[in-house]
Amino acid sequence: MPRLLLLDCDYHEETMLAAARKLLDEYGLDAAGKTVLLKPNMLGAWKPEAGVTTHPSLVRAMRVALEEQGARVQVGDNPGLAGYGAIERCGRRTGLAEAAGDGFLNMARDWERVPLRSRFCDSTIISRAVLEADLLVNLPKFKTHMGMVFTGAIKNSFGFIVGAEKARMHTLAPRPSDFGELLLDIYLVRPPDLVIMDAGTVMEGNGPSGGTLRQVGKLMAGVDGVALDALAAHMMAVDPHRIPALRAAESRGLGPLELNSLQVEGPFEIIPRFKLPMSLASSRLAGILQHAGFSFIARPRLKADPRLCNSCGVCEKHCPVNAIELRQRPVFNRSACIGCYCCYELCPEHALKPRSVFAMLRPL
Ligand code: SF4
Ligand code: SF4
């Protein structure tokens, strides 16, 4: 039975360091003389208080606690934003570069093509730091996701993938159920040695960047990322089977997902009236229709708020299928859109707004 720990989290330096030491001790992670990669969620260049990225106090505490053991610690991610200097900019803005001490890594610089056990492709491009680390500590952020319902430990592994290869992955598996399976394939390239999820401030609603923040005040930890994501689903009062990556995990025997099959230690609570994304990804009906071939169900109907959009072009640049043309505002080619929500999550102004669920239901 997977053992999962819940600890209080207030982002204060002393509390976080005490929690980091305790978790290393509880899970017996012996890092002496080893290279440890800390993999936070560094989705983009957002400040820590935006609640989009893993809080730097967790990364700092883990780095210090591991260095106390004599580890060589690296901190890195491949953020959604690509281009010259994007990783360094994200590192500065999120506070993660400072939290990393001397160990902040541009993971896009050094990569390797590796075999992938997947029905969607037989290889992919992964940062070499992921492959070469002696220990991998996955530090996801507890957030909803418009396309995948939830982004936790499994989804955080998508950051193993370098640059434009991420776009290729999206095009290979456009339906949420398929993409969930592909995320699991990537997670299994290098499963974590420890997962600590930042559920201090969590995001509900239309995540992973445009949702609303809730104070939950928890760190969630375990060795099994599937079990930890399932626990997060139970905290959201969501059946874990509604999360595509968890459905895929269970079908491969990587569960269990039921709450009574998890050994939870610490103050477990269901978050009252937790809001899911306003997309159809989490609906049972949408899942059934997608399986039946109605792929349009997964496509978002987004519009740019003219008061917020500054015509920066980030959405156009990062659409994996060139379904956006920037005139004064982004114009969407809905028949080309594959519903990856990259434009939505990367818009620095939160200018893209989903239309109502009923609007999304219309065939495109
Ligand atoms: S919608 Fe967002 S990302 Fe796209 S051009 Fe406007 S501000 Fe930039
Ligand atoms: S328009 Fe947005 S959601 Fe659609 S494929 Fe492009 S980036 Fe993805």
Residues 130-169: tens digit of each pLDDT? 999 999 999 999 999 998 999 999 999 999 999 889 999 9
Q: Which structural domain range is residue 15 located in? A: 3-265
Q: What is the mean pLDDT of the chain?
A: 92
Say how many Å lie between the CA of residue 345 and the centre of ligand 2: 10
Q: Where are the beta strands (DSSP E) in the chain?
A: 3-8, 35-40, 72-75, 111-115, 123-127, 135-139, 141-145, 149-151, 194-204, 212-222, 263-265, 302-304, 324-326, 330-332, 352-354
Is residue 232 located within the same domain as residue 314?
no
Determine if the peptide bond prior to 240 is cis (ω within 30°).
no
Q: Encoding tokens for residue 26?
A: 């509880």
Ligand 1, from 324, 343, 347, 350: best to mutate by most atoms within 8 Å of Cβ? 347
Task: Give residue for tokens 């610490």.
Answer: 266
Percent of the chain at pLDDT exceeding 90: 83
Nearest to 197 by CA among 229, 237, 241: 229
Q: In sequence order, what are the residues at sequence separation of 6 or more whose Cβ sits closer than 8 angstroms to the Cβ of residue 292? A: none
Residues with CB under 6 A from ligand 2: 300, 319, 321, 323-324, 332, 337-343
The last residue of one of the domains, among 265, 289, 309, is: 265
3-state secondary structure (DSSP) of residue 347: coil
Say how many Å lie between the CA of residue 309 and the centre of ligand 1: 5
Say how many Å lie between the CA of residue 354 and the centre of ligand 1: 14
- What total number of domains does the chain contain? 2
Is the distance from CB of 69 to CB of 56 less than 8 angstroms?
no
Is residue 108 located within the same domain as residue 52?
yes
Positive or negative: CA dihedral 54, 60, 64, 67: positive
Is the distance from CB of 115 to CB of 168 less than 8 angstroms?
no
Q: Which ligand lies nearest the alpha carbon of 326? A: 1
Is residue 323 located within the same domain as residue 217?
no
| Confidence check: pLDDT of 83 > 90 | no
Query: Could you tell me the pLDDT band of residue 358, with boundaries at 50, 70 and 90?
Result: very low
The closest residue, in CA terms, to atom 6 on ligand 1 is 309
Q: What is the pLDDT of residue 311?
A: 97
Q: Which of 111-125, 244-258, 348-362 has the lowest mean pLDDT?
A: 348-362
Is residue 313 located within the same domain as residue 198?
no
Q: What is the pLDDT of residue 335?
A: 87
Work out which ligand 2 atom sits closest to the CA atom of 333. Answer: 1
Assigned domain for 230 exists:
yes
**CATH, residue 78:** 3.40.50.11440
The last residue of one of the domains, among 265, 290, 310, is: 265
Is residue 322 located within the same domain as residue 253?
no
Cα 35–Cα 5–Cα 72 angle in degrees, nearest 5: 10
Is residue 8 located within the same domain as residue 148?
yes
Residues with CB under 6 A from ligand 1: 304, 309-315, 326, 330, 347, 349, 351-352
Is residue 165 located within the same domain as residue 254?
yes
Q: Where are the beta strands (DSSP E) in 209-253?
A: 212-222
| Confidence check: pLDDT of 290 > 60 | no
Ligand 1, from 43, 308, 309: best to mutate by most atoms within 8 Å of Cβ? 309
Task: Give residue for tokens 């809905």.
Answer: 334
Work out which ligand 2 atom sits closest to the CA atom of 315. Answer: 7
3-state secondary structure (DSSP) of residue 146: coil
Assigned domain for 293 exists:
no
Q: Which ligand lies nearest the alpha carbon of 81? A: 1
Work out which ligand 2 atom sits closest to the CA atom of 174. Answer: 5
Say how many Å lie between the CA of residue 42 and the centre of ligand 2: 20
